[in-house]
Every structure is written in structure tokens, then in C-alpha cells.
Homo-oligomer: A and B are copies of this chain.
Amino acid sequence: MNPKSAKQVEAIAGKRFQSVRGNHANETAEDYVEAIADALQQTGTCRGVDLAKVFCVSQVTVSKTMARLQTEGLVSFEAYGPYSLTAAGIRLAVLAKRRHAIVLEFLITLGISEGTAQVDAEGMEHHVSSETLEVFQKMTATLRKKSKTIS
């Protein structure tokens, strides 16, 4: 093995970074539509000030992000009005919530404490492929069955 081949291996393996890098905007979009969906469900409306509290950012940041998500067709609102989701936004929120729920349940079933599971699920959910998600789901079911047998 000459010195070059090691570097070539690195370069090939490095393709995995492509999907990780440059996806942050998408993650933000998912987090926001998920939060908007939650607020709409829980309180019937969604204002910038609510999202600012949820994400612990300033209202200005929310305002700017919402403007971007509106041009991306995920969110809809008029000046000084409450936010609502477009059809695309609802679709994305449903997918995100489902993924979040599966990851969270999996971690909790593994015995991770509630709080840690929340934080970890939040961070992990955007990086779990559908293949892994399915395995998580099956694993949760299997572990649940077992613990039921024991108790």
C-alpha cells in the first residue's frame, strides 16, 4: 500500500460528510415547523414570541427565519400576523414529529432518563436515516415486549 492509497480511502470515506455538512438550514426548518405545529395544536395559534421562547432565541431571529421559511414555501403569514403552515410545511412537520417520537421512545426504552433522552433525541433526530429509524422502531417494540413478559 503506497502512501497515496491511504489518502484515497479517506477521500472516498469522506463522502459521508457531504450529507452532514450544509444540512443545517434544513434542520432548522424541521425544528421550526415542528414547533409551529405543536403551538397550533396546543394553543390554536402561533406567534413569534412563542417560538422565541421555545428556541431560546430573540424574536428578531424568529422573524428572519420565518421570512426564509415563507420564501421556501413551508410557512405562511402576513405582516404582524400569526404563523401557519403550508401543506408542505405540515408534511414536513409530520415527518419530523414521527422521527422525533421514534428516536425519543427508543432512547427511553433503552433506559435513558427522560431529560437526557429529550436533549439527545433533539440532536440526533436529524441524522438518523430511514434504515436506522426502522431498526430503532423494531428494537423499541422488541424491548417493550420483553419487559412486559418480565413484569
Contacts and interface: CB of A to CB of B under 8 A. Distances in A.
Interface in A79-125: 107, 110-113, 116-120, 122-124
Interface of chain A, helix or strand or loop or mixed? helix
A151 interface: no
- How many copies of the shown chain assemble into the complex? 2
Interface residues of A, number: 48
Interface of A: 3, 6-7, 10-11, 13-21, 24, 31, 35, 38-39, 42-43, 50, 53-57, 107, 110-113, 116-120, 122-124, 126-129, 131-132, 135, 139
Given A131-B112, A132-B112, A10 B39 contact: yes
Contact of A7 (B17, B20, B53, B116): B53
